[in-house]
Amino acid sequence: MPVPLQERIPYFPEHVETPRLILRPATPEDCQELNAALHETWPDLQTWMDWADRLPSVAETALFLQRAAAAYHAGRDCMLVACHRSTRELVLCTGLHPRDRRVPKFEIGYWCRARYQRQGYVTEAVQAVTRAGFEHAGARRIEIRCDSRNVRSRRVAEQAGYHLEAILRHDRRAPDGSLRDTLLFVLLSEEFFARPPK
Ligand SMILES: CC(C)(COP(=O)(O)OP(=O)(O)OC[C@H]1O[C@@H](n2cnc3c(N)ncnc32)[C@H](O)[C@@H]1OP(=O)(O)O)[C@@H](O)C(=O)NCCC(=O)NCCS
């Protein structure tokens, strides 16, 4: 009998290709490059990501990646890196994070290495993660959340076909301590399959 989509472990494929990127689960071998990308992108990350309170050491990045790989293989979470198909350089990090298995519902997060920003890589990756989420993981709903002031992140969600469902006012604290309104972007499986992106 085929395994129901939402029970697949791991629930994300080991390898997904887009025109310019290879997406795959993060592994401990990504340590040096991920750490370099974090350093390079730190001003952006510090502004928008609540986990970016302190630059991690190489050892801390290694431990983080070990845990991420274990979570992927156990089907608990999925942190992904996207590498350039020609240079093999790490371009961005993204992930498909389970939020409620009974729906099933997931959330996509992302950040892009500074030197690769504003070239459409993030939108390309988010479209591919979205497709795998619906087609492979059996998602019925995928969310993208961002600070209402994060115009570039908002554009990625819109370009990837997500709909603004709600504005959660004073939802969280931004890294600078200010109260942040969160934009909640959503795509349902019905909407995706009615008009899958090319
Ligand atoms: C938010 C973030 C991921 C957006 O990255 P990005 O590089 O702007 O997004 P994309 O890769 O999709 O690139 C889109 C831009 O590239 C341009 N572009 C250039 N070549 C392109 C191509 N071949 N195809 C598509 N777009 C292209 C688009 O016009 C667009 O520019 P615009 O924003 O001026 O309209 C990035 O700013 C970032 O990492 N920020 C810090 C972390 C963060 O905020 N994460 C999100 C938290 S919710």
Query: What residue ranges do the domains of the chain occupy?
Result: 8-194
Cα of 92 vs centre of ligand 1, distance in Å, is: 11
Q: What is the structure's pLDDT at 52?
A: 95
Q: Which atom of ligand 1 is nearest to the CA of 111?
A: 39
The span from the CA of 12 to the CA of 77, in Å, is 9
DSSP 38: H
Q: What is the structure's pLDDT at 24?
A: 98
Could you tell me if the CB of 160 is within 6 A of ligand 1? no
Architecture of the domain defined by 8-194: 3-Layer(aba) Sandwich (3.40)
Pocket test for ligand 1, best of 41, 45, 111 (most atoms within 8 A of CB): 111
Question: How far apart, in Å, are the Cα atoms of 160 and each of 11, 91, 127, 157?
Answer: 21, 18, 6, 5
Could you tell me if the CB of 52 is within 6 A of ligand 1? no
Q: What is the structure's pLDDT at 69?
A: 98
Q: What is the structure's pLDDT at 113?
A: 98
Q: What is the structure's pLDDT at 196?
A: 73
Tens digits of pLDDT across the chain (198 residues): 556 666 789 999 999 999 999 999 999 999 999 999 999 999 999 999 999 999 999 999 999 999 999 999 999 999 999 999 999 999 999 999 999 999 999 999 999 999 999 999 999 999 999 999 999 999 999 999 999 999 999 999 999 999 999 999 999 999 999 999 999 999 999 999 998 766
Could you tell me if the CB of 94 is within 6 A of ligand 1? no
**Beta-strand pair 141-147/90-100:** unpaired
Could you tell me if the CB of 122 is within 6 A of ligand 1? yes
pTM: 0.96
Q: What is the structure's pLDDT at 189?
A: 98
Q: What is the structure's pLDDT at 195?
A: 84
The span from the CA of 83 to the CA of 93, in Å, is 9
* Beta bridge partners of residue 82, listed in sequence order: 23, 92
